[in-house]
Each structure stands twice: as structure tokens, then as C-alpha cells.
Structure 1
Amino acid sequence: MLPHDNMLPADTLPNVPLHATLLQLADEYVAAAYGGNIGDELYHSQLSTAMGCLESVLKNFRLDPRREARVRLRLATLMVNETENQVEAEEILSKGIMLCDRCKLLNLKYGMYHLLARLMATSNPRAAMKRVDQLIGETETASNVVWAYSFRFLRISLGLQYGGRTDGASLMNQLAIVLQMAMKFRHVAVQIMASTLQAIVHLRSGARDGVDMAQRALAAARTFQTHPEMNNLPQLRILIECLSLMCAMSQFNKEQAMQSTVMMQQELESLKEGYFSISLGTAAAGDIDLDSGGILSSINGCTFLKFAWLPVAQLQAMGYLLSGISAMHRDAADTKTVHFLNQGLRLTEYHCGPANQVTNLLRLQLTLAYCTQNDWDQAAKELSQTKADGDDFTKALRLLLQATIKQATGSLKPALELYNAPPLKFSVGEEDGGVRDVQTLGTLNRVLILQRLGLHEEAVGCLSEVEQRCLQHRNRLYFSAFHVAKAYLQPSSAILPRKHILKSAVEAAQTTNNQQLLCVIMNVISQSFFHGIIGDQAMKSVQVSSVLGKRARNRMWMAVADEMYAKTLEMSGRPDKAATLRRDANEQMAAVPATLQSLLENQTF
């Protein structure tokens, strides 16, 4: 067979080692897979081919130690990020670590240990954190500041991701040491990062002073707000504003929440990257990126530690989520809430798909927004599009919303079945967290249904389960809601105890300026103490109830309040105004679900 005209003779082929060609091909396939919008099948095919090239190099060629270690780290990184071959990835890393030990390749060794710890954490977080603690000791003994920082931040990250609230003290200790090191060496970016992480730990703690401590940590980070390091870290500025917004909402500071929301939105508009790097203030070798597996990088001769946050689209969607929550915090019936959340949904569904976790969070929050606006049909429709799986918090919140919609539309027994489901069952002694808050709300709602169905003893038992949590919760709304439920369980003859309980409820609700809860409490007070009574105090009570009902824009409570107001006016000899109010009450009640209307007939508190 004759060679084709355009084929080169064997002796004229370029003298390029085959292993170098395979490594170059691997780089090109990875770049193509990560470089643009391609289909899933092609994406996985290109990455699979890249890993095949790297495996072939390791199996068929004898490389110098540094190159072999780099290939092992590259291959293991792809396996960890793109496959479920955990055992094979661990084997590749273990052999690589032994090679690095023999040849004293410190950066490559620690880069492999960093990846191995992250891999171990997916199956055994405690073992991974213990291993990182050992590496921290090793690097600090060797005065290797760069890797000491790297492993301490990894330990903090694993603690935040996999640890519980009881790990807060350990995390704060880690951060305190990082801050001491950073102040000693004047590493400003590290100080900003550590202070910001301190704020996160304080907010997660659930402690009564957690918000105050978080604000102090944020104030420490903001002392560098005019420093060049802060100017180079838009991602951290966004995170600081997000945390500031959470603090403001926790303290019901609407003005501060608005300011933080605006600042966060402005920063997000110009954001170009989700990942960021902080300067460690030390000189770096030019190949530190390759030797560390991308954990460290060299910029203008200095060592930087890389942090991966979220892709820009997801960060912007999270911004819309927080903006929506902030708008609902200012005014539960504000239409801006739905606008922000829908904007976030459009963004995540376009960039991330409908099954993305952020998409699911946005839909759950949108369901909650429709619930606060009493649009139960739309709430049910939105909830039906959420995923039933997810973490414990997501499952519990989804079930709570499902039960709330049933309860609000008058389907009490189906709602009770949902509240009794395991994800919403409150168990005394379990660890605190967002799940516990959802379970607490579910239990309070269950108490109201049980009492309505005549199951008084069971209702009392349920309320006692959440008493300590509600009374000690840093959010005063739990305190107030607990006292509303407690008042509901009092016999009608217990006028003074009920009055004392409701006084506590209204005082707590006033500190939060929650119009909806104040509306409920004042309607209960009017019904309990001024029903059928004429006088200035009775008139003031029903007037306040009517005003609060309109502020809360809750059709049912507007109808109830206006009906009580109308009756009081009739008894006071003012039938004309009473007729107008009754007409308004009937119009509002007509918009309430029929099943709920029937439950409200002859209802007394």
C-alpha cells in the first residue's frame, strides 16, 4: 500500500515524546469541556477522554517525580470533581503522597492532602477534620505559613459544611488563631476573610448574643473598607453585605436591612467571577498553581489562596432571594417580594436548570410569599413545582408550607396529618438549627388544630414541648406566637390569666413591628375581652384591630375585625357606619375559601 501524498515519511515526524502529546491532549479536552455551553453527553465524553489520557501516561511512561506527582494530582482532581470513583481517586492520591514524601515535593504533597481531605469529608467528615488538624500541626511546626493558612481555612470550611452548632467553639478557636497569625504578619486580606467567617459562625450559633457578636466581627472586617485589599475583593464585600442584611433582619432593623440590600445589589451588578483569591503576603514560585492543584496561585510574585464560592449566576440569584426576603421582612404583602423572587427564578432556570438547589429555595420562598399574601391557590401551584428531596431543612420547610396551605384553606385534618409527619415532629434535646425552627412553627400550628378539634390534653402536651425553645429564642416572634397559642388553650373563664398571656404576646410582637401577628393578637383581644361590650376601651380595641387588619392585608382578619367593629358601632347607636363596615366585611369574607368560612361560623376564642 502506497502512502498518501500528504502523509509524512516516518523519519520526518516531529520528535515529540508521546507522553507529552497525551498530556497536551488531556489539557485540551478539559479546556473544551469547561470552556463553553456544550451538551452533557459531549461534556462527559471529553472529560472521560482527558482522564484516559492521564491514566495512560501514568501506566505506560516513566516520568520524573515532579511531573508524575502533577499528573496524579490532576487526574485525582478530575475524578473527585466529575466522577464517583472515590476508591480509585484515593489510591492515586495515596501513591502520589508517598512519592512526594520520598522526593520532598512539599507543595504537591500538601495539595494532594488538601484534595484527599475534601474527598474523605464526603463519606467521613470527622475523620477528614481530624486529618486536617494533624496537617495543621505539621505545617505550623515547620513554620509553613502558607499551608498553615490553607489547612486552617479548610478545617473551618469543613466545620461549617459538615459540623453542627456544637462545633462553633472549635471554629471560633481556629479563626482566632488565623487572626493572630494574620495580624502578626500584617496579612490584611486574611484578617478580612477571618472576621467575615467569624460573623457566619456567630449567626449559625443560635446564641442570644449571636447577632451582636456577628455585627462586631463585620465591623472588624469593615475597618479595612478603604484598604486596597478590600477593593480587590468584591465577593467578600458582597458576603459582608449579605451577612449585614441577615443581622438587620434578625434585629428587625428595617432601615439597616434596606441599606444592606441596596449595597448588596449594587455589588452584584458588577460582579464578574464567583471565585476569589486572598493574598497571603509571601513570595511564590511561578509553578505554585500546578504544584498545589489550583489551591494556591502566584500573582505578581505573591502567593494567593483561592476560594470557590458560587457561579456568578447563582450568586445573583441568591441576591434576588435575599432581596425578596428583605422586602417581605419590611412588608409581608409587598409585591416587590414576588418580583425579586421571580427574577431570581428566571436567572437560575436559565443558567442552572429547574432541579438546581437555589431554584428550589427560590420556589419555596415564593410559596411562602404567596402564603403571606393569602394567595393560597398560587402558593399551592408554586409548591407543587418544588422538589420533594433535599436536605432536612428543605424537606421540613416544604412539608410545613404544604400543611399551612391545608390549614389556611380549612382542611384541618389533612393539615394535622402533615404536621404529625416525622420531618416536622419536634424532639426535645436534638441539636438546634433551622430545622428546629421549622418544627417549632409546625408544632405551634398543630396546637391550634388540636384545640379546635377538642383534643385539649394533646394540645397542651405539644405546646409544652416547644415552650423552652420559644421563650429562649432570640427571635421574639417565637415568644409572641407561643403566648398566642397558650392563650388559646386557656378556658374561657380564665380571664385574668389570658389577659396576662396576651399582654406578653403583644409586647413581644410590638418589638418586631410584625403587622400580621399584631393583627391576630388584637383581634383575639377584642373578641376575648370586649365582645358585646360598649365603651371607649372596647371601641379603641376594635378600631385598632380593623386598622391592623388593613395593614396586614389579610382578607380573613380584615373581615373578622370589621365585623366586630360593626357590632360595637351598632350597640353604640351608629348603624350607618356599622352597615358600611359590615358590607366591607362581607366582601372580604367572600374571598376567603369556603371551607374556612364554614369553620369561622360561631367560632369563639
Structure 2
Amino acid sequence: MGAVPASAPVFLPPADASGLPPPPQYYQASPRPGYQYNQQFTAQLPPQSIAPQIQRPMKESAREIEHPPSSPDPIQNVYYETPRPMQVVQIGEPPAAKREPESEPEPEPEPDYSLLLLSLADEYFARAKKLMNRSEEFYQLTAMGLGCIESALTNFHLEPLREAQLSLRYAQVLFDETENHDDAERVLTKAIEVCERNGFVDLKYSMQLLLSCVLFQSRPKAAVKDLQNLIEEAEVYKHAAWEYALRYQLVMFHLSDSNSRDLQQAMHQLEKLGHNALKNNDKAVAAFSTTVEAMLHLQSPYPDAVTSAQRAIASARPLLMDSAVCHLVQLAFTLELIDLCCSIRRGNVEQNDEKRKFMHELFGKVGQDKSWLDQGSVLSVPVCMSSLRGLALQKGGLVSQVGGKAVLQFSWLDADEAEQAGFLLSVASKARKGSSDRAKVQEFIDGGVNRTRETVADYSGKTSLAAREKLSKARLMECRFLIEQTFLQCSSGNWKGAWKSLETSRQCLAQLGTKPPRSITLMVQYLKGVIEQGRGNLEAALSCYQSADLDLAQFQRQAVGGAAQQQTAGAARWNPDLEVGRNICILAAMNRLVLTNEPSHTLSKQRADLLDQVKSAMKSCTDKNIMAAYTLVHQQVGERGVVASKNSLVSALNAAKAVANTQITALVLTVMQQNFFRGVTDEHANKCVKAAVANVQQWGDPTWSYVAAGIEAESQEFRGNPEAARHMKEEMARRLQRVPSGVRQRILSG
């Protein structure tokens, strides 16, 4: 019993503290595949969609009344009037009053054909959004709606404000749904001139920002330069509210690249945004920028990423307590999510518990506040009236009016998504502890699964693209919860329940409709091997760990190849999906080392190369749970010598205790007792046995509970307590019945 039994997999899930959404955006800066809009398509529209040429009837009063001529005299070429009949008139009576001709009815006013065209465009766009996918019909309906708007702009003399707003909408649809960026640029350029002539400052900034987004698709550097010029112009005119929006869009441009140099540029712009907002007393904007800054620090590849994020959190907290900002519960809750992520990354268990409790208390208060539910996925950040410089706001501009206040609006987590993220981070922060906390972790998982399934039920059957995207996100989140449940059931030795949860997660992935993150597929494959190993099917488990998806060397080559493409641009940003995937491959490789540790195994010759691969990969691993597991596995398969082995075990024990990982603590103590205290009867040996048995019981795995009973029985025999040893052997027999059948057969066969 001197080595870790091969039937006990190392199945620690890496702590995924990356469940936060990407930063909000004003406009999507990523290109969308679209329909090539034909300028001549208006000929294909139904007749009612084109402004008809109206033939106006002549009024009766305007017609020339032609009297039929009498017989003409061919010589004199004159006409004689036809004699009129004589009327009888009495002498002395007043003449009869002249009858007034009846007045003609007022003609009906002509319909507003431009309004009819716009209504028709709305109907085309609405029908397009209800389609299941972006089929040919979708693009035809979109093109017909665009044609109606173009006809209204071209054939009717509109008021300047209405023309500008309609042009902005036309360009926005072109940008969102088509690839006709040249047409969008042309329309926006003309509309900006209209805004400048009529003083529509708000609309002008909105158009200029959209124009920069259009330009970014083909010439990103030129778009960045153009946006920087706009920011300088806004600063000169002290248009603070619009400067905030433009500067934040510049942050989005920098974040579109995946290298750390542009990440630093984005950080700099956020710091400048927060500084200017504080200078103008726009504390809500400053709190928003600082919260996003904390979120971005967690994506930094630098060692001080967590420290920088916590520094930003500390700056945001006093701002959120201000009376002008305290109503923004979305910001406050997101800040707590980021703070909990920092503690998970650091592996600070005590802080995890405190921050998790505070987060749940805060969300309880959020549930009583209906403002977040009413706003949905929109965050309205108020700005001071002084930041508007007395300028009028227009519909469609960058600055909106909500409840009589001027606000900047950003896309954000809605209340359901935030609650699901809170449950997922709660699971990640508590799942490494023993059986005493397992019920609480399962409660978090059940809460998250219920919320995601409610969302799935709400959006199932809806055909709009937005609804389908929401449905896909909910199913992916449900899959994450089921994977966490599978890890939890594996840790308790509930292999039947783990297999059921894994199959359910596979069904969720099949219903996504989109390609899931690579880390998710790797975890599903890895968990299959863990379950097979726990059941005693070692050959099937080894086959899973050796699959191409979980091959550590291949994964490292692909990761290095992707990073090599960014060498000219700078160091790569932290990629959570890549890091989690690498950690899963490391765990699979360590389980391979344990399964092939016997010298008689056919793959034992590959152990040295595999251990070198794990050593290399561990240089970039920051997960303290995996670091502790690696120290234990390295001691079992790589260390030679008593001193080196003892030092490795002590290091692994300290690392496991630091993150309160009961499983690794129990394994280390068990190995330590077998290697250094077996057959020893002094006080230190007795303490080691008791500690090992207590941690195994807290862990709650049936197989290792049987092993612990054997250790205790053996210890009692060495200490001269045959009666106690006999009782423990009887307990061993009882515990053996709870061991999986595959493992039990291996134990009984010797």
C-alpha cells in the first residue's frame, strides 16, 4: 500500500473563475456575414412599397365649361345663342332670390406616403427577425426593408431631423445585417453634414461613432485614428458626455485584438475615462469604468493581475456608495462577482466564504428591487447636466433620457444571467472541500440548474435571433452546472450519479446549435475517463486519457502555434478557455502516470517523456489545487530518495491545506503514513494514522474509506490491540460492499 492506488483518479476540476461576460459594447465591432444589398432591387419590391405617382383629379371649379354651339353661319362665322324659354313674372313682386350653388365637399388629405414606407420597412424587419436563421429569405426581407427606407429618403422632402434619424437607422441596419459598408459610409457622411448644418450635436456624435465602427471593419488603424480625433474634438468643446461614449468605444477597438499591448492601451483609456468623469463629477461613469477595468485586469497575463484587479475594486467601492450611484445595483453585484473571482484565483478559502455570503445577501436585496428586472440587459449610467453643455438631445443619439435624467446606455448582464453567474462562482469557491460542504455545493448547483432551465423554457420555441442566442447561452450555462455536479459526484464516489449527470451535459451540448468552448468538450472527455477509472475499468480510463483531444503535447503545440502568430503584436492576453483546457490535459496526463506506474505495465517506458511534458506545462499553471496534486504525483512516479520524497509530500500537504482541499490532504497523509510510518508505533505515527483516517472520512469516497479502515486495522495490530484490529477488519468487510464492483474484484483477486 505504498503507492496511490490506480483506481483513485486525480479528478480535481480547475477553478474556472472566468464566468463573467465580455465588457459591454455600444456597437458590435465584429463583421457580420450579410446579404449584398443591390441598389437596383427596388424594382423587385411589391407595388405598394414604392411611392406611387399620384394623378390628381381636376376640381369642378377649374374645368372649362363648354356650351354646345348652335348652328354656325358659314359666311359670318358667328354663333347665335339658342333662345331661352320665357319666365312669368308678376309686376310689383320682388325678384326671386338667387339660389346659391351647393358647396363642394373638402377633398380628403393625401396620406403620408413616407410614413407608410417606414411602417412597411418595420414590418419587413420584424418578419426577418422571426425567421429561424439567416436564410435567403432573411436577407431578402432585410433588403426590402432597406429599400423602403431608401425610397423615403430619396423621393420625399423630409424635415432635417427626421432625415438624419432615418439615415442613421438605414446605416445601422446596413452595418448590422449586410456587408455593404461602403453604402453605410456614404449615407453616414451625408447625414453628418445635415446634422452639422442644423446643430444636431447628439445625433452627429452617434453617426460619427457608427462611422468609425464601419471603418474599423476594413481599416482598423484608420478607425482608431479617426476616433482619437473625435475624442480630441469632444474634449476641446467640453462635450464630456459624448467624450465618455467615444472613449469607451476606443477601449472596445483595443480589446478586439488579443495581444497584451492593446490590452494595456484599453486600460489606459479606461483610466483616462474614469479620471475625466471624476473631474466632471460624473461619479456613476467613474464607477462604471473602474468596474470594467477590474474585469479586464483578470484577463491580463501578468503575475500581478489579481492584485491590480483588487486595487480597481477598492477604487470602485466608495464610488458605489455615493447617492448618485448607489441605485446601480447591476454595477454593485458585478463588482462582487469580480471580487469573488479574485479570491478563487488566489485560492483564499476564508475570503471565498466571506465574499460568497456577501454576494448572496446583496442579490437578495437586488431581488426586491425591480429596477434591474425592468431594465433587462441594459445598464443606464447617469451623467450630470453640466456634461451636456446645454445641448439638446435627439432620439437616436448617444445620450438618452430615462426618467428625466440624461444617461449613457450599455449592454450588461440581466438579473437572470447575473444570478446564474453567482451560483456558478459559488460552486467553484466551495467545491474543493469535504463531504460536510457537499450538500451546500449541491444546493448551489440545483439553484443554477433551475434558473437556466427556466430560461430555456421561456425562450424555447421562439424563432428570433436574439431569443435563440439567449437560449444557447442558457443551455451552455446549464451544461457548466452539470459538469460541476459530475465533478462533485466523482469526489464522493457516486459513479452512477456522475455518469447520469455527464450524459445530461452531453445532451445539453448537442442542443446548443453552436460550437461549445473547447474547454467544455475536454472536461466531458476527461470526466468519462475519471468515471471509468473510479469504477475500476482501468483500460477504458487509460484509453480516454490517451485520446487526441486530451494529449498534452499536442495541446501545447497548438497553444504555442497560436501564440507565435501574435509575437509581432506583443504577448498574448490571458485566455481562460485555453488555460482551463491546458489544466484538464495536465490532469489527464497525471492520471496516465498513476495508471502506468507499475514497471510491468506496457506503457511504463513512456512515463519519463510524459512526466517531462507535465513538468513543462506546470510552469505556466497557476491553479493551486493542480499544483498540489502535481507535487503528490511527482513524488509517486518521479522522486527517488527518502529526503526528496519526504520534502515533496510535505510541500504537497501544505499546498493542499492552503486551499482546503480535503481530497489531496487525505491522499498525501495516506501516502505519508504508508511510506514513513508503517509499522511504527510512536506518537507521531499514531497521529499520522488518525489524521489520514479523519481526512478520508471527511472526503467520503467509498474506495478510500475501505483503504483507511485497512490502515487503521494494520496500525492496531502493530500496536498490540488485536480486538480493535478485528473490529476494524469487520468494518473493512462492510465497507468493501460499498466499493464499485470493478474495484472490488481487483481487491479480491489480490
Give the equivalent residue in structure 1 for 2:545.
415
CA distance in 1, matches of 2:343, 2:405: 37
Opposite residue 267 of structure 2, the aligned amino acid is: M
Pairing 1:129-278 to 2, within 5 Å after superposition: 132-160=227-255, 163-250=258-345, 251-252=348-349, 253-269=351-367, 270=369, 271-272=372-373, 273=375, 274-278=377-381
Residue-by-residue CA offset, 1:532-570 (whole Å, 9 max, x unaligned): 444332332222122112222223332322322222223
Residue-by-residue CA offset, 1:8-63 (whole Å, 9 max, x unaligned): x98744333211232345457778999xxx8859x979978755532442354354
Alpha-carbon deviation of 1:500?
0.6
More helix by share: 1
CA distance in 2, matches of 1:535, 1:106: 85
The equivalent position to 1:433 in structure 2, one of 557, 575, 593, is 575
Distance of aligned partners of 1:288 and 1:27 in 2 relative to their CA distance in 1, 3 Å threshold? farther
Residue-by-residue CA offset, 1:349-379 (whole Å, 9 max, x unaligned): 1234495124213312322222222233133
Residue-by-residue CA offset, 1:214-243 (whole Å, 9 max, x unaligned): 223222212134322222212112211212
Paired residues of 1:276 and 1:308 also in contact (CA < 8 A)? yes
Runs of 5+ consecutive residues of structure 2 not aligned to the other structure: 1-55, 58-105, 461-467, 564-571, 597-603
The equivalent position to 2:585 in structure 1, one of 442, 457, 463, is 442
SS at match of 1:204: coil
Q: Is residue 2:397 matched to residue 1:298?
A: no
Number of matched pairs: 583
Paired residues of 1:200 and 1:243 also in contact (CA < 8 A)? yes
Distance of aligned partners of 1:27 and 1:362 in 2 relative to their CA distance in 1, 3 Å threshold? same
The equivalent position to 2:620 in structure 1, one of 466, 469, 476, is 469
CA distance in 1, matches of 2:411, 2:731: 56
Distance of aligned partners of 1:392 and 1:445 in 2 relative to their CA distance in 1, 3 Å threshold? closer
Give the equivalent residue in structure 2 for 1:484.
632
Per chain length, whose mean CA-contact separation is higher, i.e. which structure has more relative contact order (CA < 8 Å, sep 6+)?
2
Residue-by-residue CA offset, 1:306-336 (whole Å, 9 max, x unaligned): 0111344333333333344345366662321
CA distance in 2, matches of 1:163, 1:416: 31
The equivalent position to 1:114 in structure 2, one of 204, 209, 232, is 209
CA distance in 1, matches of 2:366, 2:699: 32
CA distance in 1, matches of 2:217, 2:297: 25
Distance of aligned partners of 1:326 and 1:14 in 2 relative to their CA distance in 1, 3 Å threshold? farther
Opposite residue 371 of structure 1, the aligned amino acid is: F
Paired residues of 2:164 and 2:194 also in contact (CA < 8 A)? no
Give the equivalent residue in structure 2 for 1:288.
393
Give the equivalent residue in structure 2 for 1:6.
none
Give the equivalent residue in structure 1 for 2:9.
none
Q: Is residue 2:485 matched to residue 1:382?
A: no
Q: CA RMSD in A?
A: 3.7
Give the equivalent residue in structure 2 for 1:457.
608
Residue-by-residue CA offset, 1:239-298 (whole Å, 9 max, x unaligned): 112122223333322332332332342144233122121122223779735242xx4203
Q: Is residue 2:671 matched to residue 1:524?
A: yes
The equivalent position to 2:456 in structure 1, one of 349, 355, 358, is 349
SS at match of 2:381: strand
CA distance in 2, matches of 1:422, 1:77: 46
SS at match of 1:390: coil
Paired residues of 1:242 and 1:264 also in contact (CA < 8 A)? no
Give the equivalent residue in structure 2 for 1:279.
382
Paired residues of 2:632 and 2:668 also in contact (CA < 8 A)? yes
Opposite residue 446 of structure 1, the aligned amino acid is: A
CA distance in 1, matches of 2:296, 2:424: 21
Opposite residue 440 of structure 1, the aligned amino acid is: N
SS at match of 1:304: strand
CA distance in 2, matches of 1:128, 1:581: 75
Q: Which protein is bigger by CA-based radius of gyration?
A: 2
Instruction: Answer with 349-358 or 185-194: which moved more.
Output: 349-358
Give the equivalent residue in structure 2 for 1:571.
718
Q: What TM-score does the superposition give when structure 2 sets the normalisation length? A: 0.69
Distance of aligned partners of 1:561 and 1:170 in 2 relative to their CA distance in 1, 3 Å threshold? farther
CA distance in 2, matches of 1:546, 1:16: 87
CA distance in 2, matches of 1:582, 1:159: 66
Distance of aligned partners of 1:343 and 1:158 in 2 relative to their CA distance in 1, 3 Å threshold? farther
SS at match of 2:406: strand
SS at match of 1:224: helix
Instruction: Answer with 494-503 or 120-129: which moved more.
Output: 120-129
CA distance in 2, matches of 1:419, 1:601: 32
CA distance in 1, matches of 2:221, 2:500: 43
The equivalent position to 1:536 in structure 2, one of 678, 683, 703, is 683
Q: Is residue 2:412 matched to residue 1:309?
A: yes
CA distance in 2, matches of 1:110, 1:503: 63
Paired residues of 1:268 and 1:316 also in contact (CA < 8 A)? no
CA distance in 1, matches of 2:450, 2:543: 36
SS at match of 1:223: helix
Percent identical: 22
Alpha-carbon deviation of 1:187?
1.0
Residue-by-residue CA offset, 1:142-186 (whole Å, 9 max, x unaligned): 543222211222233454565345543222211211122112111
Q: Is residue 2:172 matched to residue 1:77?
A: yes
Paired residues of 1:264 and 1:319 also in contact (CA < 8 A)? no
Give the equivalent residue in structure 1 for 2:37.
none
Give the equivalent residue in structure 1 for 2:192.
100
CA distance in 2, matches of 1:598, 1:442: 29
Distance of aligned partners of 1:287 and 1:550 in 2 relative to their CA distance in 1, 3 Å threshold? farther
Opposite residue 509 of structure 1, the aligned amino acid is: A
The equivalent position to 1:367 in structure 2, one of 483, 487, 492, is 483
SS at match of 2:110: coil
SS at match of 1:333: helix
Q: What TM-score does the superposition give when structure 1 sets the normalisation length? A: 0.84
SS at match of 2:383: strand
Q: Is residue 2:421 matched to residue 1:318?
A: yes
Alpha-carbon deviation of 1:125?
7.1
Alpha-carbon deviation of 1:80?
4.8
Distance of aligned partners of 1:542 and 1:54 in 2 relative to their CA distance in 1, 3 Å threshold? farther
Distance of aligned partners of 1:228 and 1:565 in 2 relative to their CA distance in 1, 3 Å threshold? same
Distance of aligned partners of 1:116 and 1:569 in 2 relative to their CA distance in 1, 3 Å threshold? farther
Instruction: Answer with 354-363 or 149-158: which moved more.
Output: 354-363
Opposite residue 110 of structure 1, the aligned amino acid is: Y
CA distance in 2, matches of 1:118, 1:585: 69
Opposite residue 61 of structure 1, the aligned amino acid is: F
Alpha-carbon deviation of 1:79?
5.0
Alpha-carbon deviation of 1:439?
0.6
Runs of 5+ consecutive residues of structure 1 not aligned to the other structure: 1-8
CA distance in 1, matches of 2:703, 2:223: 54
CA distance in 2, matches of 1:530, 1:511: 24
Opposite residue 486 of structure 2, the aligned amino acid is: Y
